Amino acid sequence: MERDFYITLIIKHLKGEISYEERDELRQWLDSSEDNVAFRREITNSWRASKKGLKEIEVDTAKDFLKLKNRIEKEKQQPKRIKRTPAVVKPIRNNRRIIYWAAATFALLVGAFWFLNQPEEISRELALRTEVGEIRSTSLPDGSKVWLHGSSKITWPRVFEKEERRVVLTGEGFFEVTTNPNQPFIVELKNAEVKVLGTTFSVADREDVISVQVEEGMVALSDSSNAKFVNLSAGEFGTYVPASNKLTKTKDYNKNRNSWKTKNLIFESMPLTEVANDLELYFGSKVTIESQRMRSCVYGGYFPNPDINKVLSSIAAAFEMKVTQDINGNYQLREGVCKK
């Protein structure tokens, strides 16, 4: 069956034994359906549980079969004894009490059957989803807090397991994790994981690149099989590219990566090309610095609850530039004088 083939690929990926060709095939299968991603998650959870709970058991099949054969032969040779028990008939003294007890038992069984047959997401998991341009926040069972950027989703169990606190994120989120050295907090992504004990950080899984920026504490960014990982401390930025299986770590800390949450844009001696990138990230409109010589000019400014027209007007005034907007809603900064 097709699923058997992909189960094999998932297990090989978890064990770090998958080839590049098989990884690409598995990734294409996951990209084709959210059901496939959910199925991969079930296999992954089962595999982890088996590694935690199962021990190797040596079985001597020949010896066990001989024991069973000898036992059967011994029972054949012994005469069978049938114990007869006389029937006892007792009068029913309280029909009403028995009927009440039977009804209560029936109701209990029906309730248990209903509960056990509820969908997993209803009985065991909670979820939070955001639409485009929407930001929502929630508290998790351990007291940790999470903020979701637009077009994102997070799911978590009603009660965390004793060994770990695992959530599943699609899109982008900002986390404030309650410290618990005995129960790691894990953010599961489509092709990676982020593991922490207690810290503040942001995670983004968009456009085939997974990125993590650490505000406080330390986190570990790894691929989904935990075969490769990189530790990130406060002020560090890490990325993972599933297509090339490449992990990187830099000191490229940028406060504006979390501007969607803080509602602040802060430019501290930043080249105009990077300013334009941050504006695109926050407002969703492309901003182009037309002049090549102006792109390295350094700009500084602070904008709480920013408005794109006011920000661009401030930049234009600082460098004697002109602001234009095309029919697609994208902006251009033209001409200008680089002041040093």
Residue 92: what pLDDT? 42
Q: Domains in the chain: how many in total? A: 3
Enter the DSSP assignment of 179: P
Please indicate, yes or no, if residue 114 is contained in any of the structural domains: no
For residue 130, is it within any domain? yes
Cβ-defined contacts of 318-322 (< 8 Å, 24+) = 319/272, 319/294, 321/294
Per the domain annotation, does 118 fall within a domain? no
In the block, residue with structure tokens 């309650």: 178
CATH number at residue 218: 2.60.120.1440
Query: Are 240 and 176 part of one and the same domain?
Result: yes
**What does the alpha-carbon distance between residue 223 and residue 188 come to, in Å, rounded to a whole number?**
10
Same domain? For 147 and 231 the reply is yes
Q: What is the per-residue pLDDT for 28?
A: 77
| Separation in Å, CA 327 to CA 77, 263, 285, 340 | 96, 27, 12, 34
Instruction: Tell me: do 302 and 181 sit in the same domain.
Output: no
- Separation of alpha carbons 51 and 115, rounded Å: 29
Residues 156 and 174 in one domain: yes
Whether 242 and 278 share a structural domain: no
Q: 107 in a domain, yes or no?
A: no
Domain end point (choices 199, 231, 253):
253
Sequence-separated (6 or more) residues with CB below 8 Å from residue 92: 98
Percent of the chain with pLDDT over 70: 74
With respect to residue 80, please indicate whether it lies within any of the assigned structural domains. Answer: no
Domain membership flag for residue 60: no
pTM beyond 0.75: the answer is no
Does residue 22 form part of some domain?
Answer: yes
Both 145 and 194 in one domain: the answer is: yes
Q: Residue 46's pLDDT is what? A: 75
Helices then strands, each counted (H, E), the chain: 9, 19
Weakly modelled stretches of the chain, pLDDT under 70? 1-3, 15-21, 47-123, 340
42-84 per-position pLDDT tens digit: 777 776 666 554 433 343 444 544 554 466 556 555 555 544 4
- pLDDT of 71: 60
Helix axes 2-14, 20-31, angle to 10 degrees: 120
DSSP code of 245?
Answer: T
Euclidean distance between CA atoms 149 and 136, whole angstroms: 7
Residue 188 belongs to some domain of the structure: yes
Instruction: Report how far residue 214's alpha carbon sits from residue 66's, in angstroms, rounded to the nearest whole number.
Output: 62
**pLDDT at residue 338 in the model:** 87
Same domain, 136 and 208: yes
Which residue range is the domain that position 291 belongs to? 260-334
